[in-house]
Structure 1
């Protein structure tokens, strides 16, 4: 996925991946991680997700990373948040209280940028990327996040040959290979095909959403 693809999706308001409510997996499983309030949490390819507000409300410091400036602007405008905007390397950084959104390329993140991150949350980043970019993304998290980082990962698993992504299918075996240095525990799996007309129309016979607890 080239940057132009995502910029156009946001410009055309083709953002079906955006959820109008806080993700229930986050609300159910995040408290089980035992992450202390005040910890910094990375949310990559964050869009304007309400999940970031939920994390901040639980006392966490959120570091969202998003390519689209439109998404960043919308997040602050839609919630009436006044942002202080600064520059950090190749990122435009928007700050308001416990939320920072870094507008730029997630692959430009360095270890020093993520040094304070004790948590990571991924609902829609990994599944937004095609295969080679997924490998780069998982390598980035494994190489740049601090030791003992923990969090949640949500994936989809379906027959990719029947319909193009995004969202892309990321089978369990690929997740475990890409996060080989992590401890992964599948904490929930749901068949959601009946909730997904686009996949039904394409002839997909199974669409499984998996939730992993991940720990370095």
Structure 2
């Protein structure tokens, strides 16, 4: 390790910096001793790619990804619950409207049932069949309304969840495209400003350089 090439040491330091950070690159990976000042790597990034890698390493991407997943799931669940409640109400309205004839029959039976009970009381063998008939009718009507409401609620919940997750994903994509567009505009503005500044510096420095060249030429001519 004492006779390592300087270029090999610099390459090894770059690998350590890319994998473990600048603190690990400033020490030997074997004995953990700090390098001499002449062989210390630069603290700041020497290239824009290195700068991007350092910035990307400092960002907690795993935590951001988990937060994004939780937000997408939360939006989908909330949207699905809202759509499920609306679907349940719509299912009840639809089942009630479709069972209007049965409801009218139930009202008629409610009005006629006292007379039917009295008539069944006169004939004891008709008590049990009449009670079973009424119970089956009411149970079937309630089951029809309940099944229609549950089915509409389930379908609306699934559709609302899918709609919520899709809207959240689309908003993420639109936000990313907007940030990319603004970043591109900012980079273009910065590049144009840099070029303009360099041109202005060149215009200011051109007379000075020409004057210096003339002075040197005259001094050599008369030397």
TM-score, normalized by the shorter chain, greater than 0.5 = no
Q: Which structure shows the higher helix fraction?
A: 2
TM-score w.r.t. length of structure 2: 0.15
Higher relative contact order (CA 8 A, sep 6+): 2
Q: Which structure shows the higher strand fraction?
A: 1
